[in-house]
Amino acid sequence: MPDLQDKIILVTGATSGIGEVTARELARQGAHVIILARNAEKAATTRHRLIAATGNERIDVVLADLSVLQQVRDVAAEIHDKYPRLDVLVNNAGLMFGAAREVSADGYEMTLATNHLGPFLLTSLLLDLLQKSPAARIVNVASMAYRFSKPTLDDIQSVQDYSPVWEYGTTKLWNIMFTQELAQRLRAHGITNVTTNALHPGAVATSYGKQSGGWLSAVLALGRPFMISPEKGAETSIFLATDAKIGAISGGFFSKKKAEAVKSKFNTPVNNRRLWELSEELTGTQFLD
């Protein structure tokens, strides 16, 4: 078990499920852990629970709804004010929304806003803090659900064709493509002390999909007894955040702590670049251009 006493680690979506387990186990190894959450009361309760479980009081809370881009900008500014650097960013937060298409405060489809645009903007705004670390890592929690997707950049907000399952799967593909393009751009800019990898946590018994309604909720309820625990699901996130052997690898996709090929015809360098440019446009940021 590595000693993380000198590490400052930010974990998004850390008030339940694999995010909470990831934060807990990193804190148990001595890291200074920052949990980013939407709900202040839930975050405070989680913080007390993590301190009790680990004996590590260096657990902080910052608040933001990742679907609201101004809140992402505000929390990034707060993190800059409070911390001298970041050693690890775990983009764990993600949701599946309901059968009816919803839009964010910025007018973007909610799954896209929460699962991709928010993390994209957050990463862009925190990159300078990550560059201050001797060896920083960006860990993006994706999913094999990318195989259940209908990717198109011409209707990235799914105005014409929305389904909670396809939309969730597509945003998980965006997470993978973002990771690959980020790794390529970091290399192109000569930034060698920051690496990034994506992962599939496994079929984890969490609350994902409960509000999607209809047949999917029923299928998930039936399958829940056969799903893995959040503890098991967090293992690859923790591995990518801490394992010494991973330090030189960037742009990979991992499952069960092993590299996996991404099987999507849409996953091409051209589409990775197009997704990046569209994400810049939607979030109003310029990022490693």
Known catalytic residues are 168
- Dihedral angle over CA of 282, 252, 264, 224, nearest 10: -90
Dist CA 196 CA 179 (whole Å):
6
Dist CA 20 CA 36 (whole Å):
11
Tokens of 196: 């990034």
Dist CA 70 CA 68 (whole Å):
6
129 — phi, psi (to 5°)? -70, -35
Measured CA to CA in angstroms, residue 97 lies from 12, 223, 277 at distances of 18, 19, 25
Q: Which residues contact 56 (CB under 8 A, 6 or more apart)?
A: 27, 28, 30, 31, 33, 50
Do residues 198 and 179 touch, judged by C-beta distance below 8 A?
Answer: yes
Tokens of 141: 């929690």
